[in-house]
C-alpha cells in the first residue's frame, strides 16, 4: 500500500509557478513546441470517425489550445510534473483494453473497449475543467453521457455510489513506482452525480481520440468538480452501497474531500480558490502563466444544472 502524502510534500502554488517559469525559460514549458516534449507520433492521435453531434449547451468561451491541453497535465501515474505525462505517454498501451464492471448491478462482467463503446453515439461538448491549483481550461471533449453506459448494467436499489479505478501497471505507468498516492488511483461519485446528464465518459478531444496523457482510452469528465475527480484510463467500474475511498482523500483528507465541488467560498488550506487563471488559445508561453485571474464561479459555472443535487448538504463540511 502506498504511504500517505504529507501536505508538506505537495508543491505550494507559488513554488509550482516559479518552477514552471524555469522550465519555460529552458524551452520545456507551456510554450515549447510539441517536438521538444515527446516524439511527434505520440501527439498525432487518430481523428474520430463517424458522426459526432454538437452539444447545443456547450460554453462559447475561448478554448484552450490543443497544445496547451495535451502538454500541461495532471496524471501522476505518468509523473508528477505537469510536463511528465506527455513525455511518458508512449509507455501506456491502450489496445487491447478491458473494463470490469461489478458490485450492486444485474449485468456486470468484463467488457472489451469496443463493447463499451459500440452502442453509444458520440457528441462534442465544450466544457470547462477546473484544477485545484487555481487554473482552468476550456476543452471540446468527445464522448457520451456516463448515465447511458451505467444504465446498461442495471444497477440495483443498493447502488448508492459508483467507484472507478485506473489501470495499475508500473511498467506502463512509471509514476506508480513511487508512493505518491495509493495505487491504483480510485475515485467515486454519488449515483445521482454519476447519472447526471452533464457527467461525460470521454473518448476524445478536439475531434481526435484521447491522447494517453489525457487519460486514454476512457476517462470521466465531471465539469462542476475539480479536475482530479475526472479519473483517467478507467479499467474498473463498481456499484457500491457505501461511499468509496478515493486516492486524494486518503492521502490528504484535510485538503481533498470526497465531493470536491468547485466552490470559491471554500479555500484549499494553502491557497484561495476564489479566483482562477484560464489557459486559453490566446495565451502563449509566459503570458499564459501571467494572464489575468478571473472570479471562480460556483460549481464551475454549472450551478443552474447541478445545485439541486446538494440542496440538503453542507458544502463547507462536505467539501
- Which distant-in-sequence residues (6+ apart) come within 8 Å of 109 by Cβ? 100, 101, 102
d(CA 141, CA 147): 16
Is residue 319 a contact partner of residue 249, using CB atoms and an 8 Å limit?
A: no
State pLDDT tens for residues 164-185: 999 999 999 999 999 999 999 9
The pLDDT assigned to 271 comes to: 87
What average pLDDT does the segment 273-300 reach?
Answer: 78
DSSP 285: T
Report the pLDDT value the prediction gives residue 49, as an integer from 0 to 100: 76
pLDDT, tens only, 243-281: 999 999 999 999 999 999 999 999 888 889 999 999 987
pLDDT over 70, % of the chain: 83
pLDDT of 108 over the 90 cut: yes
Question: CA–CA separation, 34 vs 30, rounded Å?
Answer: 10
pLDDT at 133: 86
Contacts of 83 (CB under 8 A, 6+ apart): 23, 28, 29, 37, 71, 72
Confidence class for position 293, pLDDT limits 50, 70, 90: confident
Using DSSP's 3-state secondary structure scheme, residue 38 falls into: coil
What is the pLDDT confidence band of residue 38, given thresholds at 50, 70 and 90?
A: very low
Domains annotated on the chain, with CATH: 11-310 (3.90.420.10)
**CA–CA dist 13, 2 (Å, integer):** 24
Average pLDDT over residues 10-28: 36
Predicted confidence at residue 104, as pLDDT, reads 98
Q: Express each pLDDT in 196-248 by its tens digit.
A: 999 999 999 999 999 999 999 999 999 999 999 999 999 999 999 999 999 99
CA distance linking residue 125 with residue 198, whole number of Å: 9
Give the long-range contacts of residues 106-110, CB within 8 A, separation 24 or more: 106/153, 106/154, 106/155, 106/156, 107/152, 107/153, 107/154, 108/153
Average pLDDT, the chain: 86
For residue 290, the model assigns a pLDDT of 58
Q: What is the largest CA-CA distance in the chain?
A: 55
pLDDT at 195 over 90: yes
Give yes or no for residue 311 having a pLDDT over 90.
yes
pLDDT tens digit sequence for 148-166: 999 999 999 999 999 999 9
Q: Which pTM value belongs to this model?
A: 0.86
Beta strand 161-166 with 109-112: parallel, antiparallel or unpaired? Answer: unpaired
Q: Residue 27 pLDDT > 80, yes or no?
A: no
- pLDDT attached to residue 316: 93
In this predicted structure, the answer to whether residue 23 has a pLDDT above a threshold of 90 is no
With a cut of 50, say whether residue 145 has pLDDT above it: yes
Task: Say which residue, 249 or 41, is predicted with more confidence.
Answer: 249
Amino acid at each position: 500500500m502506498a504511504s500517505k502524502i504529507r501536505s508538506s510534500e505537495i508543491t505550494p502554488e507559488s513554488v509550482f509557478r516559479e518552477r514552471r517559469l524555469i522550465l519555460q525559460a529552458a524551452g520545456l514549458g507551456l510554450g515549447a513546441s510539441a517536438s521538444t516534449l515527446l516524439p511527434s507520433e505520440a501527439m498525432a492521435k487518430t481523428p474520430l470517425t463517424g458522426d459526432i453531434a454538437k452539444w447545443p449547451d456547450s460554453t462559447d468561451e475561448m478554448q484552450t489550445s490543443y497544445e496547451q491541453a495535451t502538454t500541461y497535465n495532471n496524471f501522476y501515474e505518468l509523473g508528477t510534473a505537469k510536463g511528465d505525462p506527455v513525455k511518458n505517454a508512449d509507455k501506456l498501451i491502450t489496445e487491447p483494453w478491458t473494463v470490469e464492471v461489478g458490485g450492486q448491478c444485474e449485468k456486470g462482467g468484463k467488457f472489451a473497449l469496443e463493447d463499451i463503446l459500440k452502442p453509444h453515439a458520440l457528441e462534442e461538448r465544450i466544457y470547462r475543467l477546473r484544477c485545484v491549483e487555481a487554473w482552468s481550461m476550456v476543452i471540446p471533449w468527445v464522448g457520451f453521457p456516463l448515465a447511458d453506459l451505467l444504465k446498461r448494467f442495471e444497477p440495483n436499489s443498493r447502488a448508492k455510489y459508483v467507484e472507478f479505478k485506473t489501470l495499475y501497471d508500473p511498467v506502463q505507468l512509471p509514476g506508480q513506482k513511487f508512493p505518491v498516492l495509493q495505487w491504483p488511483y480510485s475515485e467515486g461519485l454519488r449515483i445521482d452525480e454519476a447519472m447526471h446528464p452533464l457527467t461525460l465518459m470521454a473518448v476524445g478531444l478536439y475531434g481526435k481520440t484521447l491522447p494517453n496523457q489525457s487519460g486514454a482510452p476512457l476517462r470521466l469528465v465531471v465539469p462542476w468538480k475539480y479536475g482530479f475527480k475526472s479519473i483517467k484510463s478507467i479499467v474498473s467500474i463498481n456499484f457500491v452501497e457505501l461511499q468509496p475511498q478515493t486516492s486524494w482523500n486518503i492521502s490528504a483528507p484535510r485538503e481533498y474531500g470526497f465531493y470536491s465541488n468547485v466552490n470559491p467560498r471554500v479555500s484549499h488550506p494553502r491557497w484561495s480558490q476564489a479566483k482562477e487563471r484560464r489557459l486559453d488559445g490566446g495565451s502563449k508561453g509566459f503570458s499564459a502563466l501571467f494572464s489575468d485571474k478571473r472570479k471562480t464561479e460556483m460549481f464551475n459555472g454549472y450551478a443552474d444544472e447541478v445545485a439541486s443535487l446538494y440542496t440538503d448538504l453542507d458544502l463547507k463540511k462536505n467539501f
